[in-house]
Chains A and B, each alone.
Chain A
Amino acid sequence: MQLALLYFNTIIGPEIYFSHPGSVLEKIGRKMLGFFDLDMSDKFFEVSLIEEDLKITNLYFEITSCWARGNKEMLMLSVISDKNLKSELLYDTMKDYSIKIMSIVNLYKAFYTKGYLNENDLEIEQKTKEFYEILLECYNDLRERLKEKIDDEKIIKKFKKFEW
């Protein structure tokens, strides 16, 4: 399982801001960036990559921003996992973390580390660090909860494979 956070960079378009553990494979990353162009009413959706045997579960959300066009940053939290994983298992945790991210004051500054604007703002480094910590925590939490839920599913699957 891999966690990624994508955002819409005002200058270069969709970009992978964070991924853990390791970087997202280029081929998969390209596909993920394309999700931003999809006009979907649902904010929580999954995409199956048949050739790669993978599933990408995504939660789109926005945070307020004083520096972005339209005063909002468009973000997408994505989980790259085995194709058999039920994406519903991830929803609660992803939702909780999106709310957590939305509630951090001035978090948008974390997206401006490359000196596009206001590079002298002291809060940029602090918010970037804070954001990375939350995302790592989100990854660990997802992995733990998933492990628990997969264990729960095991016994249920064993009984449910038969009719009673």
Chain B
Amino acid sequence: MVINLEKTHLLYITGLIIISIISVYVLIILPHGAPVPVLESTFFLFGLGFNSTILLWTIAGYLLLRWIRTNRKNKSLFIWSISFFIYSLTFVAHIFRAIGFPNANENLSVYHFLAWRWGMPCFSAGILYGILIILTENKKLQKIPSVSLLILGFLWLIIGLFIIPSENPIEVTMYLFLHTIWIPICFTMAYIFAYYGYKAKEIGPKLVGLGFFILMVSYHGWAPWHFQDVVYLYFIWYFLFLLSLTPILLGFVLMSVEERH
């Protein structure tokens, strides 16, 4: 009996031994962690970027896994997976910017901004295309709005960054893009998922809807709080954005669980 238990819980016992060794070391030596000077003033950006990236990759990975597990029939899962993955590039840039890579700073020039933000119009068009595949079987109705949105998104980036004369072209671009494409698309997703969840009496879609709603709200905070003197409040909105990804992930997971039951 005892021998069996030892065999079954070998991993637990090994874990306990390792933890004990570390604890003894910490309690005796009282180690002082090595500094990472580059993170002294950017640790919050690093943390936010890192967590966002992990969550976005988890959502993308989960959607991809579900797409494979469901015999690759639900194209929306695949498109959303790719969309979330592309969207994560912006946050990967935040991690590298925080650890001192100057080229990862999207605000360095309009070219840097374009290089790190092109994923946002792709994400908008991708999530719209995914939901349109569900809502209509008409191929034209699926593709025309999505492609138009993609073109419009890139048009805003090009017009805002390179054509409209402004002292701060990045600011102009963000104003245009967020308030004409991003926020309405997030609200559309929030509404459709919440509506479906309400009608189907399921929690999963409601959570996805809630996530997209919070995501929309967090981007509403960008315009008034992106100015240098109040930029610390922009990071609060960034925290809210990070929070919005949790119900999206949880909602998608629950959707598959609720379907099975």
Residues of A participating in the B interface, judged by any CB pair closer than 8 Å: 152, 155-156, 158-164
Contact = CB atoms under 8 A, between A and B. Distances in A.
Contact of A162 (B76, B199, B205): B76
B206 interface: no
Contacts of B230: none
Contact of A155 (B195, B204, B252, B256): B195
Kindly name the residue among B73, B77, B134, B252 whose own CB sees the greatest number of chain A CB atoms within 10 A.
B134
15 contacts: A155-B195, A158-B134, A159-B134, A159-B196, A162-B70, A162-B73, A162-B76, A163-B71, A163-B73, A163-B74, A164-B70, A164-B204, A164-B252, A164-B255, A164-B259
Interface string B130-143: 00001100000000
B1 interface: no
B73 A156 contact: no
B36 interface: no
Interface in B66-96: 66, 70-71, 73-74, 76-77
Given A162-B134, A163-B259, A155 B199 contact: yes
A160 to B, nearest CB: 8
A58 B99 CA distance: 72
Nearest to B193: A159
A159 B74 CA distance: 10
B200 interface: yes
Contacts of A159: 134, 196, 200, 205
A10 B13 CA distance: 84
Given A155-B196, A164-B252, 13 more contacts: A155-B199, A158-B134, A159-B200, A162-B73, A162-B74, A162-B134, A163-B70, A163-B73, A163-B74, A163-B259, A164-B74, A164-B204, A164-B256
B259 A152 contact: no
A160 B195 CA distance: 14
B73 A164 contact: no
A47 B74 CA distance: 35
A158 B205 CA distance: 13
Interface of B: 66, 70-71, 73-74, 76-77, 134-135, 195-196, 199-200, 204-205, 252, 255-256, 259
A164 B208 CA distance: 13
Contacts of B76: 162
A136 B134 CA distance: 38
A94 B121 CA distance: 51
Kindly name the residue among A158, A160, A163 whose own CB sees the greatest number of chain B CB atoms within 10 A.
A163
A152 B202 CA distance: 13
Given A163-B73, A163-B74, A158 B259 contact: no
A158 B131 CA distance: 10
A160 B76 CA distance: 13
Contacts of A160: 200
Contacts of B204: 164
A161 B196 CA distance: 13
Contacts of A156: 196, 199-200
A146 B74 CA distance: 30
Contacts of A164: 66, 70, 74, 77, 204, 252, 255-256, 259
B84 to A, nearest CB: 16
A152 B195 CA distance: 9
A57 to B, nearest CB: 22
B65 to A, nearest CB: 12
Closest 3 interchain pairs by CB? A163-B70, A162-B74, A164-B255
A162 B256 CA distance: 11
A44 B146 CA distance: 48
A163 B75 CA distance: 10
